Amino acid sequence: MTDFQPVIDTALRSSAPAELTPGKVYAFHTPTGVHQVDLTGPPSAPIRKTGTTTVRDAASFHAYFEKHADDDTEVYADSDRLTVTAVLDAHQAEAPRFGDHVLRLALRETEAWKQWAARDGNLVDQEQFAEFIEDHLPELLEPSAADMLEIAQSFQAASKVDFQSANRLASGQRQFQYVETSTAKAGQKGQLSVPETFTIGLVPFEGSEGYRLTARLRYRIGQNGLLLGFKLERPGDVRQKAFADVVTAIGEHIDQPVMNGTPA
């Protein structure tokens, strides 16, 4: 029997191209099999949901979660990474699923929190300390922002003095003793009182609640004059509490348990 396939294949390869009409499906026989061209329109919808969506606050997490989650969705909270992750197509009890449709809340610290944390425990000259206080008046609760502004301005005015000692007063303030060094007032003595502790209000994460922190005054009198700073009381605990409160808020709006950890 004569094998006509080589002749057919040669004829197919040498045939002139034909213009195709949009809106139709064409099938062609080729040496490697049947090739289909679909000109009916854009590709059809994907057969399943995939991808990772990242949000920055609990409200956005809720909105996406309610739209895509089901009864088998799994939710994990990781306090080290400050993330809450929902595997929206997690494995079912009796059937595996792909597990690649993911919602992740990745919290970001606010600028105010980062700036206070960056200065925590650091001593600077009185001018820098005063400028920091002036720049952060909205976060100062006790003493009031007006009182702290007055203190900051007092430090700026006392730029040409020699600080000699500091005493703790019964009122809970720290009183600094100084001697004027400017030509007009050289030798004159003075005092400057500063609260030993002050309370600030900070929002740790974008979209989270605000929390109160206590800052304790730190100082050193040396060859470089008076250096000032503050030490925040247990800021790590406040940060962890803020994250825990976000996780609690998420858990109150969903039926699935929030597990401690990260998905596989």
The verdict on residue 59 lying in a domain is yes
Sign of the dihedral through C-alpha 58, 61, 66, 69: negative
Specify whether 171 is located in the same domain as 198: yes
**Which one-letter amino acid corresponds to residue 39?**
L
Specify whether 176 is located in the same domain as 217: yes
Q: What is the pLDDT of residue 9?
A: 67
Both tokens assigned to 196: 């030993």
Q: Which domain holds residue 94?
A: 51-106+242-260
Condensed to tens digits (0 to 9), the pLDDT of residues 24-51 reads: 767 666 666 667 776 666 666 778 899 9
Specify whether 197 is located in the same domain as 227: yes
Contact 230, 197 (CB under 8 A): no
Specify whether 60 is located in the same domain as 100: yes
Specify whether 80 is located in the same domain as 148: no
Specify whether 136 is located in the same domain as 178: yes
Specify whether 254 is located in the same domain as 193: no
Specify whether 191 is located in the same domain as 130: yes
Distance CA 238, CA 245 (A): 10
Condensed to tens digits (0 to 9), the pLDDT of residues 178-226 reads: 888 876 566 688 888 899 999 999 999 999 999 999 999 999 998 878 9
Condensed to tens digits (0 to 9), the pLDDT of residues 150-179 reads: 999 998 888 778 898 889 888 889 999 988
**Closest to 26 measured CA to CA, from 44, 39, 43:** 39
Beta carbons within 10 angstroms of residue 107's beta carbon: 21
pLDDT at 90 over 60: yes
Q: What is the pLDDT of residue 34?
A: 64
**DSSP 3-state of 238:** helix
Specify whether 226 is located in the same domain as 248: no
Specify whether 60 is located in the same domain as 163: no
pLDDT at 66 over 80: yes
pTM reported for the whole predicted model: 0.78
Q: What is the pLDDT of residue 253?
A: 95
Q: What is the pLDDT of residue 1?
A: 52
The verdict on residue 43 lying in a domain is no
pLDDT at 238 over 80: yes
**Which one-letter amino acid corresponds to residue 191?**
Q
The verdict on residue 171 lying in a domain is yes
**DSSP 3-state of 89:** coil
- Average predicted confidence (pLDDT) for the chain: 89
Both tokens assigned to 42: 């854009």
Specify whether 100 is located in the same domain as 117: no
Angle, CA of 13, 17 and 22, to the nearest 5°: 130
Beta carbons within 10 angstroms of residue 25's beta carbon: 10
Distance CA 155, CA 204 (A): 29
Distance CA 130, CA 223 (A): 20
Specify whether 23 is located in the same domain as 89: no
Beta-sheet pairing, 173-180 with 161-168: antiparallel
The verdict on residue 46 lying in a domain is no
Rounded mean pLDDT of 45-58? 91
Contact 123, 116 (CB under 8 A): no
The total number of structural domains that make up the chain: 3
